[in-house]
Amino acid sequence: MAKTTFEKIRDSLLKKEIIFVKTSLNMKFYVFTENYEEKIRYRIEHNTNNSYHDLKLKIKKLNSNYAHNNMDGKILLANFLLVNLIRVDGGFAILDSVRNPKKTLYRDERLMIQQLIHQVLR
């Protein structure tokens, strides 16, 4: 079990180019790439922006989707949207603090998230 978990994590880190394989004789060493912090920051920004735009589209279609669901479906949909909006807002907060903790770079996006939360709760 531990071996498969290690292999999955290793493969994921290799795919994201956070680590690379350095071979010496018949041994493999897994080493951080030189600019892994920049790559991690880029992946967080990329994933957060993609999620943000996907959620905006889902909330735009909310009126038509919401009416066709039963009570459980409505609760699940609202819960899904709220959890993901909070997660995306947290992603923007992390990016703000990493880039420049004294300045809010994603102010417009975070204000839009507040409006989207309001739309979901209406």
63 with 106, same domain: the answer is yes
For 93, the domain range is 36-121
27 with 42, same domain: the answer is no
67 with 113, same domain: the answer is yes
Expressed in angstroms, the distance from the first to the final Cα of the chain is: 46
115 with 64, same domain: the answer is yes
Task: Among 10-24, 61-75, 86-100, 105-119, name the one with the lowest average pLDDT.
Answer: 61-75
What is the maximal distance between C-alpha atoms in the chain? Answer: 64
Summarize pLDDT for 32-55 with one digit per residue, the tens.
Answer: 888 877 878 888 899 999 999 999
Phi-psi region of 17 (alpha: psi -120 to 50; beta: other; left: phi over 0): left
64 with 110, same domain: the answer is yes
- Residues 6 or more apart whose CB falls under 8 angstroms from that of 120 comprise 59, 62, 78, 81, 82, 85
Residue 66, pLDDT above cutoff 80: no
64 with 103, same domain: the answer is yes
Residue 97, pLDDT above cutoff 90: no
For every residue of 37-104, DSSP letters joined together read: HHHHHHHHHHHHHHHHHHHHHHHHTHHHHHHTS-HHHHHHHHHHHHHHHHHHHHHHHHHHHHH-TTS-
8 with 68, same domain: the answer is no
11 with 59, same domain: the answer is no
Share of the chain above pLDDT 90, in %: 30
Residue 71, pLDDT above cutoff 70: yes
Residue 98, pLDDT above cutoff 90: no
Residue 68, pLDDT above cutoff 80: no
61 with 109, same domain: the answer is yes
43 with 18, same domain: the answer is no
28 with 54, same domain: the answer is no
How far, rounded to the nearest angstrom, does the alpha carbon of residue 73 sit from its chain's CA centroid? Answer: 24
Confidence band for 1, pLDDT divided at 50, 70 and 90:
low
Number of domains the chain is built from? 2
Residue 5, pLDDT above cutoff 80: yes
Quote the mean pLDDT of the chain: 87
